[in-house]
Amino acid sequence: MSMITVALAKGALLKDSVKRFAAAGLDFSAVLESGNRLLMVPSACGRARALLVRNADVPVYVAYGQAQLGVVGFDVLQEAQLPVAQLVDLGFGGCRMSVAVKATSGYRRAADLPPHCRVASKFTRSAEAFFQQLDLPVELIHLAGSVELGPITGMSEAIVDLVATGRTLQENGLVAIEDLFHSTARLIGHPLALRLDDGPLQAIVDRIAAAEPALVAA
């Protein structure tokens, strides 16, 4: 494999992703420079390159083989359901996917919600699977952002969304009542590229897996 391509998510995961690859010997620090406008950035050693893409697009680039490796949140993987290999739980970017309602609603768990109520979410696939497991029929409303407005405006009884500190929920009079799952950043790979790999890819995966979490947190 002449050039290894890594898909990195812009935003909250980027800095820690770059640190973890640096611990594996690949320097993508140029993507963190304030003046960087490049979407494809070579590593300092020249034997790898990073694609800077939106979080939700990371597994797409890996699934279609345009990147052999990528870093993305588990929440995105659950929603995308694309054929990629999950290789390493990187441990950073921790948050949880939760059902939230108005604090004054009286609901204390997801099963308390009335059948056929409306639930707003950006993560409708994950929400659908969760409520199917509960055997609770709901009407899912897909929103691209500010899902907290669903219960506030009365459009929905509940939302399913990512929660980190819970501050946004609290400030908008909402409360999380049940978690679907916890999410952290994951190293993913293209299955065929991994099978055909003659060593370089696996070496990077092994070094990333062996890197101390302190290297990322520092």
Overall CATH class of domain 95-181: alpha beta
Question: What are the extents of the domains in the chain?
Answer: 4-93+184-217, 95-181
Q: pTM to 2 decimals?
A: 0.88
Rounded CA-CA distance 99/157 in Å is 10
Confidence of residue 218 (pLDDT cuts 50, 70, 90): very low
The whole-number pLDDT of residue 61 equals 97
Average of per-residue pLDDT across 58-66: 97
Average of per-residue pLDDT across 102-110: 95
Do residues 77 and 59 make contact, with C-beta atoms less than 8 angstroms apart? yes
**For the structural domain made of 4-93+184-217, what CATH number should be given?**
3.40.190.10
Q: Are strands 48-53 and 40-42 parallel, antiparallel or unpaired?
A: antiparallel
Length of the chain: 218
Rounded CA-CA distance 124/32 in Å is 32
Q: What angle do CA 47, 35, 4 make, to 5 degrees?
A: 15
Average of per-residue pLDDT across 129-158: 96
